[in-house]
Each structure stands twice: as structure tokens, then as C-alpha cells.
């Protein structure tokens, strides 16, 4: 993937966390645990991530994980919760921060590779990451496509709120909910992103 192909990164979060995110930034899990927040993460995946350390870096939970495309297996598994969720649009400028790591798939996977930000974009399979679906008649290929679809940019400690450029929600009701929470950046209704169409 070329940097010019990347318009934004995505952060999936419950809408009720947004006021805190605007005030404090997006925090890594280690930092977020100190606050009263709602998690969208799957517990069994978090247990795997808790044991993982990025090669040459820090524990995985000390990074904020941003997806290249939020329409992925994680969102699919949370589709029924779409009315409580939003996707924050994050500027690709975060990739220029010190210590950012690119994961060519889901960072919890044994088969995922990790690279410094400047080298990592070349390792992202654009076609698979931005494919509409990851299904395949070959089970091994489906697992591979699902892993790659969840490629991540890992930002140490926190993503400052100045990198947030807007948000996506699944419906107009959620647009109002997000705006009523004090969110003043552009909000787009995109039901497809949340597997609602």
C-alpha cells in the first residue's frame, strides 16, 4: 500500500466513550483501564493480546490499535451492537509519530508480521484489507483473508484527539447521539460499514 492510497485509519469505539476520548485522546488499554470506560473488545481476543509483545517493542496492550478498514471481522461480530458504536476517522499523520508499528494483519495472530511505520505500509495487502468480504471456499484462505482484513497501525500509549478528523455511524439516530455527546467534527452515516446493509 502506498501512503497516498491511505485516506484515514479507523478506531471502533462505543459512542459513550467519545467525550472522554475528545478530552484525553484515544488511550491504550493499559491507560484506559484507569478510567471508567466501555470496551467493545472480545474478551478471548484480549486475553491473547495481553500475552503478546511487539518484536523490538512493548506489550501489545500499550499500543492504541487503529484499523486500516473498520468493515472487518471485528465489526461483523459486533454488528448487532451497531447502535452503541461509532468509528472515529483518524488522520494518517499518526503514522509519523515515534514508535508506530504496522501489523500486516490482526496483531493477535501468530502469523502476523510487524514493521516500523515507514516500512510497514509496503507490507499491507491493499486488495485484501479493503475487500468487501473475506470469505473463501478454502478454509485456510478464509482464515488468511480474515487475518489480513484486520491489519492494524499500532500507536504507542495514546492517539491525541487532534488526529481525529470525524466519525462514521450506522444511522441518523446515532448521528444525533454522537453530536449530542459534544462531538463537533463531521459525522457521516454509513450503514454498510457496520454491516447494516
Cα separations in angstroms, 49 against 54, 139, 161:
10, 24, 24
Q: Cα(110)–Cα(108) distance, rounded to whole angstroms? A: 7
**Per-residue pLDDT tens over the stretch 6-19:** 999 999 999 999 99
Domain count, the chain: 1
Q: Give residue 146's domain range.
A: 3-194
**How does residue 32 score in pLDDT terms, banded at 50, 70 and 90?**
confident
What letter does residue 55 receive in the DSSP assignment? T
The pLDDT score that the predictor gives to residue 35 is 66
Where is 14: in which H helix or E strand?
strand 9-14
CA distance 60 to 73: 19
pLDDT digits (tens, 9 = 90+) for 56-99: 879 999 999 999 999 999 999 999 999 999 999 999 999 999 99
What single DSSP character describes residue 99? T
Amino acid at each position: 500500500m502506498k501512503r497516498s492510497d491511505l485516506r484515514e485509519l479507523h478506531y471502533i469505539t462505543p459512542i459513550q466513550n467519545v467525550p472522554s476520548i475528545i478530552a484525553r485522546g484515544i488511550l491504550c488499554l493499559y491507560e484506559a483501564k484507569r478510567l471508567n470506560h466501555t470496551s467493545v473488545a472480545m474478551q478471548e481476543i484480549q486475553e491473547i493480546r495481553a500475552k503478546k509483545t511487539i518484536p523490538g517493542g512493548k506489550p501489545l496492550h500499550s499500543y492504541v490499535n487503529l484499523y486500516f478498514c473498520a468493515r472487518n471481522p471485528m465489526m461483523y461480530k459486533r454488528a448487532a451492537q451497531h447502535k452503541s458504536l461509532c468509528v472515529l476517522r483518524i488522520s494518517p499523520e499518526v503514522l509519523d509519530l515515534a514508535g508506530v508499528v504496522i501489523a500486516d494483519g490482526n496483531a493477535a495472530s501468530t502469523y502476523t508480521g510487524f514493521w516500523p511505520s515507514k516500512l510497514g505500509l509496503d507490507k499491507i495487502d491493499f486488495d485484501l484489507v479493503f475487500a468487501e468480504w473475506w470469505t473463501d471456499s478454502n478454509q485456510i484462505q478464509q482464515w488468511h483473508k480474515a487475518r489480513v482484513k484486520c491489519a492494524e497501525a499500532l500507536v504507542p500509549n495514546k492517539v491525541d484527539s487532534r488526529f481525529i478528523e470525524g466519525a462514521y455511524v450506522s444511522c441518523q439516530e446515532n448521528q444525533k447521539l454522537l453530536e449530542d455527546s459534544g462531538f463537533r467534527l463531521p459525522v457521516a452515516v454509513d450503514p454498510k460499514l457496520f454491516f447494516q446493509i
